[in-house]
Amino acid sequence: MSFLAALLLLASIGIVALVVLYFVAPERLPEPTFLQKAYELPTLAVPAALMPDEDLPTLVAAIELPSSTPTATEPPLAPTWTPPPRQASATPLPLSTLKPSVTPSPLPTFPTKTPTPTYTPTSTNTPTVTPPGPTSTPTATRSAYPFTKTDNSPFYLQNHANNAGCGWLGLAGEVLDLERNPVPVGSYRVHVWGSAIDERVIVGSAPDYGPSGWEQFVFDSPVMRDYNVQLESPNGTAVSQVYRVQTHTTCNENLLQLNFVQNH
């Protein structure tokens, strides 16, 4: 069927091309050979016996029929091509439908068990027993060292122990025992260091501040500087903590006094 359909399609294309050529350029078409021959009437031979003695009248010349000029006739119509019957299209198979997923049924909800509150006994106020007699006065915390600075130390004064006046800056003080009396001369020494100073002075070497007085010159004018001060035994054992002090910048406070007192 495909081959016949192809032949019919080619024949149809050729006929359509001839028709188009006929209307567009008819002079290019070849003229049919059967139309090129002229049609002539046949001549009959008359026998001599039948011929008369007298001259027969001259017959008028037969009317010559004009040769028929072939007229172009329309080419026979080509048979109409009938397309083969259309085959029924294949019906698509239905797509596979997924099975519905199984929806899990909700689990039953059980009420939450509320724990039973436990009873907590409330503590009762215990009465405080106040001992009879006078209220005891708390004692001060005992220091790890036998000597501490006095409560009012350090304090600032104007230089009064020498004639240098405002051209002098120093640290001084005295050392007292448990009875607030001056300790013996030479029984202790004071270590002063910091701001380019590292000196030790014997207790009792500066009587202008008391029998157990001590003094250390640090600068020739009032300036603000930091120093460390600690009381030691004659062999260098620390008998007080280290106290960090700071000098002032005025002439009325160019003497910093720090006193030590024995606490146990």
Domain that holds residue 168: 147-262
Q: Is 123 buried (19+), middle (13-18) or exposed (0-12) by CB count in 10 A? A: exposed
pLDDT tens-digit map of 143-153: 899 999 999 99
Within-domain flag for 203:
yes
Whether residue 117 has pLDDT greater than 70: no
Within-domain flag for 56:
no
The Cα diameter of the chain in Å comes to 218
For residues 148 and 240, what is the distance between their CA atoms, to the nearest angstrom? 6
Within-domain flag for 229:
yes
Within-domain flag for 239:
yes
pLDDT tens-digit map of 187-239: 999 999 999 999 999 999 999 999 999 999 999 999 999 999 999 999 999 99
For residues 238 and 236, what is the distance between their CA atoms, to the nearest angstrom? 6
Sign (positive or negative) of CA dihedral 193, 144, 262, 153: positive
Whether residue 33 has pLDDT greater than 60: no
CATH number for the domain harbouring residue 184:
2.60.40.1110
Number of domains within the chain: 1
Within-domain flag for 140:
no
pLDDT tens-digit map of 9-22: 888 888 888 777 77
**pLDDT at residue 6, as a whole number:** 81
Other Cβ atoms within 10 Å of 144 Cβ, number: 8
